[in-house]
Amino acid sequence: MAAVYYCAQSLDGYIARADDTLDWLTGFEGEYAGADELPLGENYERFMAGVGALVMGSATYEFVLALETWAYPEHPVWVLTSRDLPVPDGADVRIVSGDVGALHDAIVASAGERDVWVVGGGNVASQYADAGLLDRVEVTVVPVVLGAGKPLFDRALADRLQLVSTKPFANGMVELRYAVVR
């Protein structure tokens, strides 16, 4: 089991525009001229096969809630917030507040033998890093420059990151996979 921050970011390090929109990501159409590219969808499917539970902040949760259907019907989802938020019918969503360190054991237990996906945003990922609970960072870099927005992390990391692998995708995105070294 690992706690993995898996997300996409712009070339200049943002995971969303300042208003939390993702049109730069959802509407991206690019291509890669190299010979060793992979289809992007297969990577996400591989990642999701190893996920047992998700943890996210309220802005990410509200984005997912706005989708046509609940995106994670087979997973427990933990939402870190101090606000009262709606829960989709039949979904295993736990609206919680408090310190990530105090909640982590319960989140891990809900994941079973699989990974915990730290979905976002940068504040939740920073809380995991600050608590020494973040094991990997897998970020897909989208070749667009936003100039401003929500950063990948809200603050500097005390731990160092060691590059483990890179994967270019057919649409021009590149996945960077890092291990968190304590």
Question: If pLDDT is split at 50, 70 and 90, which confidence band does 41 have?
Answer: low
And the tokens for 173? Answer: 């995105």
pLDDT band at 139 (very low <50, low <70, confident <90, very high): very high
Say what the pLDDT of residue 42 is.
73
User: Residue 158 pLDDT more than 90?
Assistant: no
What's residue 37's pLDDT? 59
For 164, the 3-state DSSP assignment is: strand
* Residue whose token pair is 């507040």: 97
Report d(CA 56, CA 167) in Å as an integer: 25
Per-residue pLDDT averaged across 100-114, rounded?
A: 97
Q: Where are the domains of the chain?
A: 26-181
> Which range, of 25-39, 132-146, 150-164, averages the lowest pLDDT?
25-39
Residue 125 confidence (pLDDT) above 80: yes
Average pLDDT, the chain: 93
Q: How far apart are CA 163 and CA 159, in angstroms?
A: 13
Tell which wins on pLDDT, 40 or 173. 173
More confident residue, 5 or 158: 5
Percent over 70 (pLDDT), the chain: 96
Using a pLDDT cut of 90, give the percent of the chain over it.
Answer: 81
CA gap 69, 177 in Å, rounded: 29
For the stretch 60-69, pLDDT in tens is 999 999 998 9
Q: What is the CATH number of domain 26-181?
A: 3.40.430.10
